[in-house]
Copies of this chain bind each other. A is one copy, B any other.
Amino acid sequence: MFELDVRSRKPIYEQLVEKLKQLIINDVLKEDEKLPSVRELAQQLTINPNTIQKAYRELESQGYIYSLKGKGSFVHPSGKVDNEEELKKVREELKKLFAEAIYLGMTSEEIAALLREVEGGQQDD
Protein backbone atom coordinates (compact mmCIF):
# COMPACT_ATOMS: atom_id res chain seq x y z
CA MET A 1 0.00 0.00 0.00
CA PHE A 2 2.77 2.44 0.96
CA GLU A 3 6.01 2.70 2.85
CA LEU A 4 7.08 4.35 6.06
CA ASP A 5 10.48 5.63 7.13
CA VAL A 6 11.01 4.20 10.59
CA ARG A 7 14.39 5.87 10.73
CA SER A 8 12.83 9.30 10.27
CA ARG A 9 12.70 11.79 13.14
CA LYS A 10 9.03 12.27 12.29
CA PRO A 11 6.69 10.06 14.34
CA ILE A 12 5.33 7.04 12.48
CA TYR A 13 1.71 7.91 13.22
CA GLU A 14 2.21 11.39 11.72
CA GLN A 15 3.74 9.89 8.57
CA LEU A 16 0.75 7.58 8.39
CA VAL A 17 -1.70 10.48 8.72
CA GLU A 18 0.07 12.37 5.93
CA LYS A 19 0.27 9.42 3.55
CA LEU A 20 -3.36 8.42 4.05
CA LYS A 21 -4.45 12.04 3.68
CA GLN A 22 -2.63 12.22 0.36
CA LEU A 23 -4.28 9.01 -0.83
CA ILE A 24 -7.70 10.36 0.13
CA ILE A 25 -7.14 13.82 -1.33
CA ASN A 26 -5.78 12.45 -4.58
CA ASP A 27 -8.74 10.12 -4.85
CA VAL A 28 -6.68 6.94 -4.70
CA LEU A 29 -8.95 5.98 -1.85
CA LYS A 30 -12.51 6.63 -3.04
CA GLU A 31 -15.45 7.96 -1.06
CA ASP A 32 -16.78 5.49 1.50
CA GLU A 33 -14.06 3.04 0.57
CA LYS A 34 -13.08 0.80 3.45
CA LEU A 35 -9.60 1.30 4.82
CA PRO A 36 -7.58 -1.69 6.01
CA SER A 37 -8.54 -2.64 9.55
CA VAL A 38 -6.33 -1.47 12.37
CA ARG A 39 -4.90 -4.93 12.95
CA GLU A 40 -4.56 -5.77 9.25
CA LEU A 41 -2.61 -2.60 8.42
CA ALA A 42 -0.49 -3.08 11.53
CA GLN A 43 0.49 -6.51 10.28
CA GLN A 44 1.16 -5.28 6.75
CA LEU A 45 3.42 -2.48 7.95
CA THR A 46 4.82 -4.52 10.85
CA ILE A 47 4.05 -1.81 13.35
CA ASN A 48 1.90 -1.80 16.45
CA PRO A 49 -1.91 -1.68 16.09
CA ASN A 50 -2.03 1.12 18.65
CA THR A 51 0.05 3.29 16.34
CA ILE A 52 -2.41 2.71 13.49
CA GLN A 53 -5.30 3.50 15.78
CA LYS A 54 -3.67 6.75 16.79
CA ALA A 55 -3.35 7.74 13.13
CA TYR A 56 -6.95 6.76 12.36
CA ARG A 57 -8.19 8.71 15.38
CA GLU A 58 -6.33 11.77 14.13
CA LEU A 59 -7.70 11.38 10.59
CA GLU A 60 -11.20 11.05 12.00
CA SER A 61 -10.86 14.21 14.11
CA GLN A 62 -9.68 16.05 11.00
CA GLY A 63 -12.72 14.87 9.07
CA TYR A 64 -11.00 12.62 6.54
CA ILE A 65 -12.40 9.28 7.66
CA TYR A 66 -15.20 7.92 9.80
CA SER A 67 -15.17 4.76 11.85
CA LEU A 68 -17.95 2.36 12.73
CA LYS A 69 -17.44 -0.04 15.61
CA GLY A 70 -17.51 -3.59 14.34
CA LYS A 71 -17.57 -2.49 10.70
CA GLY A 72 -14.39 -0.61 9.94
CA SER A 73 -12.98 2.78 8.97
CA PHE A 74 -14.06 4.50 5.77
CA VAL A 75 -13.12 7.49 3.64
CA HIS A 76 -15.27 10.49 4.43
CA PRO A 77 -16.95 11.77 1.24
CA SER A 78 -15.22 15.01 0.22
CA GLY A 79 -18.35 17.02 -0.32
CA LYS A 80 -19.69 16.19 3.09
CA VAL A 81 -16.60 17.18 5.02
CA ASP A 82 -17.51 20.10 7.22
CA ASN A 83 -14.61 20.88 9.46
CA GLU A 84 -14.39 24.63 10.06
CA GLU A 85 -11.59 24.10 12.56
CA GLU A 86 -9.41 22.28 10.01
CA LEU A 87 -10.23 24.90 7.40
CA LYS A 88 -9.11 27.64 9.76
CA LYS A 89 -5.81 25.84 10.37
CA VAL A 90 -5.28 25.41 6.63
CA ARG A 91 -5.95 29.11 5.98
CA GLU A 92 -3.42 30.13 8.61
CA GLU A 93 -0.92 27.64 7.25
CA LEU A 94 -1.43 28.98 3.73
CA LYS A 95 -0.79 32.57 4.82
CA LYS A 96 2.41 31.61 6.61
CA LEU A 97 3.60 29.55 3.68
CA PHE A 98 2.82 32.32 1.18
CA ALA A 99 4.86 34.79 3.22
CA GLU A 100 7.68 32.29 3.46
CA ALA A 101 7.62 31.48 -0.25
CA ILE A 102 7.73 35.16 -1.17
CA TYR A 103 10.54 35.76 1.30
CA LEU A 104 12.53 32.96 -0.31
CA GLY A 105 12.11 34.60 -3.69
CA MET A 106 9.05 33.04 -5.31
CA THR A 107 6.82 35.40 -7.24
CA SER A 108 3.06 35.35 -6.73
CA GLU A 109 2.78 34.23 -10.34
CA GLU A 110 4.91 31.18 -9.59
CA ILE A 111 2.74 30.40 -6.60
CA ALA A 112 -0.44 30.90 -8.59
CA ALA A 113 0.92 28.60 -11.30
CA LEU A 114 1.49 25.93 -8.66
CA LEU A 115 -2.10 26.33 -7.54
CA ARG A 116 -3.42 25.93 -11.08
CA GLU A 117 -1.27 22.83 -11.49
CA VAL A 118 -2.78 21.23 -8.40
CA GLU A 119 -6.26 22.42 -9.35
CA GLY A 120 -5.97 20.80 -12.74
CA GLY A 121 -4.89 17.42 -11.42
CA GLN A 122 -7.85 17.42 -9.09
CA GLN A 123 -10.84 15.49 -10.41
CA ASP A 124 -13.56 16.58 -8.02
CA ASP A 125 -17.30 15.91 -8.26
Contacts and interface: CB of A to CB of B under 8 A. Distances in A.
How many identical subunits does the complex contain? Answer: 2
Interface string A76-119: 00100101001100110111111111111110100110111111
A34 B99 CA distance: 22
Contacts of A48: none
A97 B94 contact: yes
Contacts of A118: 95, 98-99, 102
A25 to B, nearest CB: 5
Interface residues of A, number: 39
A46 interface: no
Interface of A: 21-22, 24-26, 63, 78, 81, 83, 86-87, 90-91, 93-106, 108, 111-112, 114-119, 122-124
Given A63-B104, A108-B119, 17 more contacts: A24-B103, A81-B103, A81-B104, A90-B97, A91-B114, A94-B101, A95-B118, A97-B97, A98-B118, A98-B119, A99-B118, A102-B118, A102-B119, A102-B122, A102-B124, A112-B115, A115-B115
